[in-house]
Structure 1
């Protein structure tokens, strides 16, 4: 290998890490709040983005096949602009809350003291438990259909595994997985707000079951849901338990890509684990997302071979909620990338918000896109952590935070639908809970 500083991406990597650490440390020093989005997002986004570079520059590993190294430095600088823009957006929407210190133990902003609010939260907890259970059953059914479609029990990779699955099953699989994640977040939060102990028997049923199904299907959504469970119960867990859980999540984060390489299904998973070693685990942990592959190739393709979309993808994402939307609306950046990128399999790579911003508006679109994300996430955060916050504010913040973290490696439609459906489900449950409580109070009064 050449000396470290002879690689053109080295300076961009150092610059991005420096900016991310500065903004995260500055935000934490001002408010001392682990769940301030200006603290955790720069660290998360920076790690997901530059870790493949560190794997290559420091550990001698390889980039994802197909990363365009000729445009890599400018892409990394563009990603750095996304971090700065997100910080600006959150700050703009925080208002006076930006100066309030919470301390590291304030994971949930509301301690329910009013009896009616506590009873409403208990009813929401029950409804979320039932809804999550039903959705997880549908998710399990879809996975069984995927397995049943395989001619020899499974492919050698996730992309090949889905070659034989019909489109309706795939849609139901993705919808049930996203809806289960949203409902589980509602359950986790209502459970944390109403139960004295961190662990309850419904949680012991739902979370491990959903996690196991995600592992069998080669997905990592369960890590976000379990991470929110840790955040929601942060003040109830001892330091030893907290560190142990975070280490366990980190291990699963590295193991899932290893599992996906061998193929899905129990037998393939065991074969993948038997072949794994420390080198494979480190590489899987360092190359969590194909963001650089996607972004560098989009830069190469657009605008030389394809025109800018000029807002078509977010507009189509909004139109997709209409029951009379045309089929062309379903041509998302993910499907577009599958068509134009020669190494793309049938399902392998998702997309990313930074690449989608560039696809629509070029490099200038990236900071603009993330300013808007920052304003929205900052708004939900401010609403959840103000003294007058109610259950809906808390649920919306954590749903949005989960969807936004997932959005790092998805086009805009996926996180948007998670947020919208989660918002609708939350308000519907709260409406039903308050209606039931009102009827019960009327009967008792009568």
Structure 2
């Protein structure tokens, strides 16, 4: 890797998006722009403390310096003809899912109405399309016409329902490309700027730009994500005694949900829990959640630091393995970058399921592609 590319990593992208989603609305508030009605203004300073502790955990995690001396997983053979059959089968499944979505959407125009009609199909598509692209990037290490078709179909669907997360698929592509080609910081900066514009374009189109359109546009750009609203409400509920710290219960629930033992869950999905606690007459889960709010409601400020330190350390370790040539580590790095950024405005359940199911899919696809694995010993130098 070149010196410039040493700055490019999943952790770098995660930090940038985390700052944008959490501190953007805070900046909008201090600039005097209107904020969401649900944000508790008296707790904004405390929420900023939570965000800064999370960022501290991410930055401290960069201290972890490990260099693998050997590759863990190697390729045993070239791709065979049956790989094309797998791709065709997966494409048909995704195509049928898209067709089913279009039939269910009908004349619905609002995002909430569309999601009510399509239900779980929405989340299947939101996970499968990026999953296929990331699997192929980790094994083929190139972006083909097949991937372009998936990306365009995924983008079209996201634009149709008002989702902006199709932009996040660009991140795995940049990460994979940076392993083999030099990327100048200037070009990377311009690309990130374009991504930011694309990410907020839908909000700007939906916004009612009254008065000074430039200021209204700036307000819309800074006010992405509901993390500030979630965190301020959670802080208030804990202070007034609505509930005490959960001491890891939500993380246990996530593991139970992962292995399909939902009947033993204590709280369940935090996106739905928050809607019920907030008492709003909206679709369950409409507000999303906040990954740092979950850490805080379990173990307080210490929990926030510990959780984000672990996230940053895992990003760091797997990316170093990816640099060494480990295909599985490359997949985890690029796919987890998509899932983890997506889950910033969600919960640990979303992150855990996305990554674990993705890794299982990778093992299936890799075994079909190469027939077997070459597992080698790996040593670490600190």
Who is 1:73 aligned against? 45
Is residue 2:131 matched to residue 1:182?
yes
Matches within 5 A, 1:119-134: 119-120=78-79, 126=84, 129-130=87-88, 133-134=91-92
Q: What is the SS of the residue equivalent to 1:348? A: coil
Q: What is the SS of the residue equivalent to 2:120? A: helix
Is residue 2:343 matched to residue 1:407?
yes
Who is 2:378 aligned against? none
CA shift for structure 1 position 302 = 2.1
Q: Work out whether residues 142 and 173 of structure 1, in 8 Å CA contact, stay in contact via their aligned partners in 2.
A: no
Q: Work out whether residues 25 and 35 of structure 2, in 8 Å CA contact, stay in contact via their aligned partners in 1.
A: yes
Who is 1:45 aligned against? 18
Who is 1:57 aligned against? 30
Is residue 2:307 matched to residue 1:335?
no
Who is 2:60 aligned against? 88
Who is 2:316 aligned against? 378
CA shift for structure 1 position 323 = 3.7
Who is 1:34 aligned against? 7
Specify whether residues 77 and 344 from structure 1 end up closer, same or farther in structure 2 by C-alpha distance, changes over 3 A only.
farther
Q: Work out whether residues 128 and 187 of structure 1, in 8 Å CA contact, stay in contact via their aligned partners in 2.
A: no
Who is 1:442 aligned against? none
Q: What is the SS of the residue equivalent to 2:109? A: coil
Q: What is the SS of the residue equivalent to 2:66? A: helix
Q: Work out whether residues 94 and 129 of structure 2, in 8 Å CA contact, stay in contact via their aligned partners in 1.
A: yes
Who is 2:161 aligned against? 217
Q: Work out whether residues 380 and 400 of structure 1, in 8 Å CA contact, stay in contact via their aligned partners in 2.
A: no
Is residue 2:252 matched to residue 1:315?
yes
| Stretch deviating more after TM superposition (83-92 or 400-409) | 83-92
TM-score (norm 2): 0.82
Q: Which has the larger radius of gyration?
A: 1
TM-score (norm 1): 0.71
Runs (4+) of structure 1 moved beyond 6 Å? 122-125, 236-244
Specify whether residues 242 and 369 from structure 1 end up closer, same or farther in structure 2 by C-alpha distance, changes over 3 A only.
closer
Aligned Cα root-mean-square deviation (Å): 3.6
Specify whether residues 246 and 89 from structure 1 end up closer, same or farther in structure 2 by C-alpha distance, changes over 3 A only.
closer
| Stretch deviating more after TM superposition (340-349 or 390-399) | 340-349
Deviations 1:291-347 (A, max 9, x none): 000000011112511232221211111111224431746821111001011346214
Who is 2:112 aligned against? 159
Q: What is the SS of the residue equivalent to 1:363? A: helix
CA shift for structure 1 position 127 = 7.0
Deviations 1:247-271 (A, max 9, x none): 4422221112245x48xxxxxxxxx
Specify whether residues 279 and 132 from structure 1 end up closer, same or farther in structure 2 by C-alpha distance, changes over 3 A only.
farther
